[in-house]
Each structure stands twice: as structure tokens, then as C-alpha cells.
């Protein structure tokens, strides 16, 4: 390896692996990601453009199973009191269970199902959640909004789990639905280009 190294008297500089540009740029990393076999399905989750970035990042971590659930901590040999879900106290706490299998999650998906007027949402995996908007015969705008609402809901579920775990705050499905609606409304109104809608219409999912 060292035989390939040429030492010169110039000052050292950083060189981006892509090699074409002198320095790092977002465009060059985009090019690199697209052309170096990184089209792995792990990268196939579509981010929602109108929801808070923290929700997208949360969803991405959930999608990759990179959140510190009890089972994930145990996998990394981090001691936890028990592996059991703090809500149902029955099943092991995995991200899949928290977002899809647990009764609290089922309650949230039921609430969103009736709010968004879509037939019973059946979810088994985190990947079902990020693809769900594609499976309903709803208009393009509603599809985009539903995708964002699901991401916000997942983020809110994780937040509720942390509140229960670290502050002993009880989780109520009705409160979660209210928070998801409120946060969604604020973001939709201010960030979504076609977001001209009032609270009543938002609550009945009456969007253009
Ligand atoms: Zn549970």
C-alpha cells in the first residue's frame, strides 16, 4: 500500500472519494450514492417532505431498526431490567412491536384509519407503515399527506413510550391522536405547498 504513496512538499488537503470535484459537495455525495450500488432496499424508504425533519429521521432509524428499544439494547449487551413492553407488559419490546403489534399502536392506527377514512389499517412491519400510503385508492395529495401522518404518528408513539418509561406518564390513545392531528395540521398549513385548509376540514381529512 505504501508503495503507491507519493510524498510531496505541498500542504495536505482533503480529497473527496468521488474524485471529480476538488471538495465535498452535496451534489457529489448524491452522485456517489446513486452510482456505487447503494440502491439497497434499506435506502428505499421515501422521506416525507412536509413533516418535521426529526420525524423523518426517527422513521429512518425505525426502518433500519436502529432505535434503542429494550431488545435492541440487549442485542448490544446493554443491561435492561426486563425486555418486556412497557405498555402491554406482555411482549418483548422491539420497534416492530411498539409501532405495529402493541395495543396502543393498534389503537392509534384505528384512530388514523377512521380519521383518514381508509379501511382498517393492518400493519405487521415497519416497512408496511412507510409503504401504506401507496396501497390506498386515494388522490395524490391525500397519499402524500397520509404518508406524512403515518410518520408523525410513529414519532409520537416513540415519544409516548419514552414519556411512560422515563417520566411514568400514562399513554392515552385519544391524546396521541389529538397530538398527531395538531402537529400534522400545523406542518401541513405552513409547509405543504397546497396546504390551504382549515382545522375542521383537516379533522375530517377533507383535502383537495
Ligand atoms: Zn406492548
pLDDT tens-place string over residues 16-39:
776 666 677 788 777 777 776 554
Could you report the per-residue pLDDT of 139-164, keeping only the tens digit for each?
Answer: 778 888 999 999 999 999 999 999 99
- What is the residue extent of each domain of the chain? 41-203
CA of 3 to the centre of ligand 1 (A): 58
Q: Check if the beta carbon of residue 91 is closer than 8 Å to that of residue 102.
A: yes
Could you report the per-residue pLDDT of 110-137, keeping only the tens digit for each?
Answer: 999 999 988 877 788 888 888 888 877 7
Count of CB atoms situated within 10 Å of the CB of 34: 10
CA of 57 to the centre of ligand 1 (A): 23
Distances 131 to 63, 127, 167, 184 between C-alpha atoms, Å:
11, 6, 33, 19
CA of 158 to the centre of ligand 1 (A): 12
CA of 160 to the centre of ligand 1 (A): 12
CA of 39 to the centre of ligand 1 (A): 33
CA of 91 to the centre of ligand 1 (A): 6
**Ligand 1 ion: nearby residues, β-carbon < 5 Å:** 85, 87-88, 102
CA of 168 to the centre of ligand 1 (A): 16
Annotate 6-72 with DSSP letters as a single string.
---SSPP----TT-SSSS--HHHHHHHHHHTT---GGG-PPPPSSS-HHHHHHHHHHHTT-S--HHH
CA of 163 to the centre of ligand 1 (A): 15
Could you report the per-residue pLDDT of 177-200, keeping only the tens digit for each?
Answer: 999 999 999 998 887 766 678 888
CA pair distance 37, 194, nearest whole angstrom = 35
- Confidence (pLDDT) at 182: 95
* Exposure b/e, 172-206, CB count within 10 A at least 16 = b: ebeebbeebbebbbebbeeebeebebeeeebeebe
The enclosing H or E element of 95 equals helix 95-96
Q: Which residues contact 71 (CB under 8 A, 6 or more apart)?
A: 83, 92, 93, 94
Q: Which residues contact 191 (CB under 8 A, 6 or more apart)?
A: 49, 50
The C-alpha cell at 79 is 443491561
CA of 152 to the centre of ligand 1 (A): 19
pTM of the model: 0.79
Amino acid at each position: 500500500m505504501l508503495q503507491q504513496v507519493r510524498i510531496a512538499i505541498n500542504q495536505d488537503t482533503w480529497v473527496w472519494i468521488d474524485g471529480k470535484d476538488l471538495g465535498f459537495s452535496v451534489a457529489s455525495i448524491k452522485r456517489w450514492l446513486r452510482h456505487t450500488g447503494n440502491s439497497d432496499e434499506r435506502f428505499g424508504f421515501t422521506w416525507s417532505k412536509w413533516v418535521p425533519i426529526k420525524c423523518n429521521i426517527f422513521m429512518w432509524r425505525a426502518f433500519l431498526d436502529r432505535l434503542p428499544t429494550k431488545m435492541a439494547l440487549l442485542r448490544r449487551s446493554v443491561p435492561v431490567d426486563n425486555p418486556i413492553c412497557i405498555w402491554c407488559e406482555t411482549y418483548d419490546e422491539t420497534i416492530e412491536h411498539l409501532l405495529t403489534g402493541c395495543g396502543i399502536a393498534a389503537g392509534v392506527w384505528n384512530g388514523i384509519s377512521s380519521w383518514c377514512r381508509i379501511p382498517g389499517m393492518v400493519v405487521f412491519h415497519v416497512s408496511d407503515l412507510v409503504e401504506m400510503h401507496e396501497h390506498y385508492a386515494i388522490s395524490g395529495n391525500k397519499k402524500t399527506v397520509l404518508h406524512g401522518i403515518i410518520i408523525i404518528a410513529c414519532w409520537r408513539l416513540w415519544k409516548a413510550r419514552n414519556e411512560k418509561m422515563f417520566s411514568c406518564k400514562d399513554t392515552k390513545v385519544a391524546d396521541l391522536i389529538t397530538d398527531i392531528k395538531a402537529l400534522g395540521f400545523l406542518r401541513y398549513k405552513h409547509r405543504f405547498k397546497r396546504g390551504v385548509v382549515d382545522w375542521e376540514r383537516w379533522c375530517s381529512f377533507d383535502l383537495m
